[in-house]
Amino acid sequence: MTKFVYDFAEGNRDLKDLLGGKGANLAEMTNLGLPVPPGFTITTKACKVYLESGDVPEGLAVEISEHLAGMEKAMGKTLGDAEDPLLVSVRSGAAFSMPGMMETVLNVGLNDESVNGLAARSGNERFAWDSYRRLIQMYGKTVLDIEGSRFDEALEAAKKAKGSDDDLDLDGEDLRKLVSTYKEIVLEESGRDFPTDPREQMDLAINAVFSSWNSDRAVLYRRQERIPADLGTAVSVVSMVFGNLGMDSGTGVAFTRDPGTGAQGIYGDYLQNAQGEDVVAGIRNTLPLSAMEDVQKAAYDELLGIMAKLERHYLDLCDIEFTVESEKLWMLQTRVGKRTPGAAVRIATQLVDEGLIDLDEALRRVTGAQLMQLMFPQFDEKADRQQIGKGMSASPGAAVGKVVFDSTTAVEWADRGEDVILVRRETNPDDLNGMIAARGILTSRGGKTSHAAVVARGMGKTCVCGADNLDVRVKQRYFRAGDLKVSEGDVISIDGGTGAVFLGEVPVVPSPVVEYFEGKLDPDSEEADDLLRGVHRLMRHADDVRRLKVRANSDTAEDSKRSRRFGAEGIGLCRTEHMFLGERREHVQRLILAETDEETEAALAALLPFQRSDFVQILDAMDGLPVTIRLLDPPLHEFLPDLTDLSVRVAVAEAKDEPDDDAQTLMEAVHRLHEENPMLGLRGVRLGLVVPGLFKLQTRAIAEATAELLKAGKHPIPEIMIPLVGAVQELEIVREQTEQVLADVAREQDVELSVLIGTMIELPRAALTADQIAEAAEFFSFGTNDLTQTTWGFSRDDVEASFFSQYLELGIFGVSPFETLDFEGVGELVRIGVRKGRDGRPDLKIGICGEHGGDPESVHFFHEVGLDYVSCSPFRVPVARLEAGRAALLGGGSDSR
């Protein structure tokens, strides 16, 4: 028979999945001999049954009665006894900490008779009636779903009638009247009297705590923290101890170290003559924990000893809740405390220095997400600010600048020393220069994987996307936020971490962590603090223990240099499409419009020096490290002008009777190349087969750049990657052409060229036939962005803005599959591709170059499935390095928490 109830003495901290964090830690403290009130915990299994069936499991009531009898024996009291009642608290507690998200009910067992017994036994009428009014208030809110403001208003009215703003000034008679008022509220709002049967109170409170697992705030919190929805909560039933018994009693919260900074010391709050919710709710001003020494020294000294004992036992920062009842200290809860990213680094390295943990454990405790937060600048939260919009937090950071509406203006203003924010409805590849020049990017459309978001993350540029309350008028040079008009040149501030948009300048606090990674700040210098030194130690250890290599996605020499400073061990994805924009676009257009072989050759010849120069710079920046260059991937129509603009040009010319032949020719080309779904059309390897001279041009440029550097005594290591391969035959044809060009250049330049040729795995068919494709490929790189699109049947540019928010709310997604890899679907294709690829070629080198390469959770999955490297945006390289180290220590798997 399933056991649903555990006495505190029966559990331990390792049973948190069954007993919840609170129940498991109460059991642990009991086993340590600390002063914990007697109690028992109802398991998460019972909660799951209740949530699935709408009723408690069979036999639970009997188990509760047995454990309640044990509690009554230990306390020498009976629940609800009229003369000396046992009172209990009913508290939630899930496996993962969800502070304040679920329900608690205190003082269960009081009624019209037992309140008098409590008053007589305590000799304190005020205390008894205060406890009773608290029960009715909490029970009404939690069990009966009565709006809490009804009770708050009644309490305020009672204090006003007394001529006070402090509830401590209410005496026993005042509180007796308040109890009557609360009962009237319960009857009015719920249609029934407040229950006076103590066991009914307890049973209904337990059910209410179970139900609170699916409250709106709990669901939202779990989604935010990526806590599984099917865990359920445990319920701890604890003997009441009273902090509101008088001025020799109180309640508080303590931390063994500062959770904000990680500094050692005495941190926490204490409140005399109060119960726990008073501290949390901020109803009264608390004392600093250190002030407790002046009012209850014996209990304070005992608390400090227990805090030290708990930290040594848990080997971590502990968050503690306690109550003092008539000078007697009771421990009500402990857990490993939440902390800021900076505190996480400091505490982990402090504990190493204190000999409590080793560097392996320190690394396990600091996540890539925390490191990412430390790397981005942040707005000063103390500053005055006016929020005018909210979008998606596409790329974290804080940026301030003057509003500009196009790339050209952004570059011009930035060149004259202005800080600018590029504001667009959405961005496209032609906006790249403006995005580079801008301090930040703000769009009214698009999601976290839109062009603006992806490029901004790659550059470490602050970006807010999809701020749909903004009406952006690019041609008119302003945007509206409600009635507010913001014109070009006006200053705004954007927070890429929260998605908030502010009017005016909000002060920014820079991140020294980025300066450290840039090599501008020596961790051993006087300017460096313990945070930087801690980051340095953890990064060095991560590099020592990780198996996964970390490369960067980079398209320019400058990004490549930055990647190297950030610790990248190569370039895993060099996109070549950006190299065909700007002044080179006209040559691509000539290639597209070419009608003869001679015209085609001329257009290709014009592009060759540009391409060669690009590759020389990138290969030189990464000298001695591999650079994987992806041949042209996007459809050719992306290099042509917009159809609407061309139509207007042609129409205006015709109206003036001045035909524009160039515009007419381009418009005809746009029509000819039009595809209903271009992302699944003529692109990637298909483009290389239909326009073979294009891939040959790029291969020659790579080969000649490599030869030039070899002759200069450098050590370039290029790798050529063929995109969007779905069948081995496609790769075989392009590979043969590529090898021929490489051989031609090697002969012409009299050098030996050793260039790996591989492919991207970004189609389900490629993953499923990876054993065949591996026979023609020397390496694979999973393009998980497109693999996610083609597996789900999503258009990335459309779905995030249209229905992803609903999918997240409905629980279909826990997180966007473009943000963290879909381990069950897309991840299974990766597993198949790895296994089959190495079946076909055992020495096959395999990496990943999608956005997921820098996602902390996804890095753990890639470690587990046996990839050789991950590649991500330059700014995320340190995050990937850290998580690769953590993955090696945690043993892989998709759950990096």
> Which residues neighbour 160 within 8 Å (Cβ) at sequence distance 6 or greater?
none
Identify the active-site residue in 67, 451, 852, 863. 451
Identify the active-site residue in 47, 465, 849, 872. 849
Asked about 463 being catalytic, the answer comes back as no
Q: What is the DSSP letter of 164?
A: -
The dihedral sign for the CA sequence 502, 506, 511, 514: positive
Report the candidate in 628, 486, 468 with the shortest Cα–Cα distance to residue 553: 628
Contact present, 537 and 408 (Cβ < 8 Å): no
Give the phi and the psi of residue 856 in degrees, each rounded to 5: -55, -50
Report the candidate in 869, 830, 728, 844 with the shortest Cα–Cα distance to residue 778: 844
Question: Which two structure tokens, joined as six digits, stand for 675?
Answer: 């595809």
Give the phi and the psi of residue 494 in degrees, each rounded to 5: -125, 140
Q: What is the DSSP letter of 10?
A: G
Report the candidate in 563, 561, 567, 543 with the shortest Cα–Cα distance to residue 553: 563
Q: How far apart are CA 752 and CA 530, in angstroms?
A: 50
Q: How far apart are CA 503 and CA 492, in angstroms?
A: 5
Give the count of beta carbons closer than 10 Å to the beta carbon of residue 155.
18
Q: How far apart are CA 867 and CA 729, in angstroms?
A: 25
The residues pairing with 273 across neighbouring beta strands, listed in sequence order, are: none
Give the count of beta carbons closer than 10 Å to the beta carbon of residue 195.
16
Give the count of beta carbons closer than 10 Å to the beta carbon of residue 188.
10
> Which residues neighbour 138 within 8 Å (Cβ) at sequence distance 6 or greater?
104, 105, 106, 107, 277
DSSP string, 308-329: HHHHHHHTS-EEEEEEEETTEE
Report the candidate in 835, 884, 735, 850 with the shortest Cα–Cα distance to residue 781: 850
3-state secondary structure of 549: strand
The dihedral sign for the CA sequence 17, 18, 22, 27: negative
Within 622-769, where are the H helices? 643-655, 661-673, 685-690, 692-711, 728-749, 764-768
> What does the chain come to in residues?
897
Report the candidate in 810, 750, 742, 809 with the shortest Cα–Cα distance to residue 778: 742
Give the count of beta carbons closer than 10 Å to the beta carbon of residue 357.
20
Give the phi and the psi of residue 562 in degrees, each rounded to 5: -65, -40
DSSP string, 653-673: HHHTT---HHHHHHHHHHHHH
Q: What's the angle, vertex CA 598, arms to CA 595 and CA 599, rounded to 5?
A: 50
Q: What's the angle, vertex CA 613, arms to CA 608 and CA 617, rounded to 5?
A: 150
Asked about 849 being catalytic, the answer comes back as yes
Contact present, 750 and 788 (Cβ < 8 Å): no
Exposure string (b/e) for 52-80, b if CB count within 10 Å is 16 or more? Answer: eeeebbeebeebbeebbeebbeebebbbb
**In a 10 Å sphere around its CB, with 0-12 CB exposed, 13-18 middle and 19+ buried, how is residue 355 labelled?**
exposed
> Which residues neighbour 126 within 8 Å (Cβ) at sequence distance 6 or greater?
170, 171, 172, 175
For 870, left (φ over 0), alpha (ψ -120 to 50), or beta? beta
Q: What is the DSSP letter of 893?
A: -
Question: Which two structure tokens, joined as six digits, stand for 441?
Answer: 């990017």
Give catalytic residue positions.
451, 849
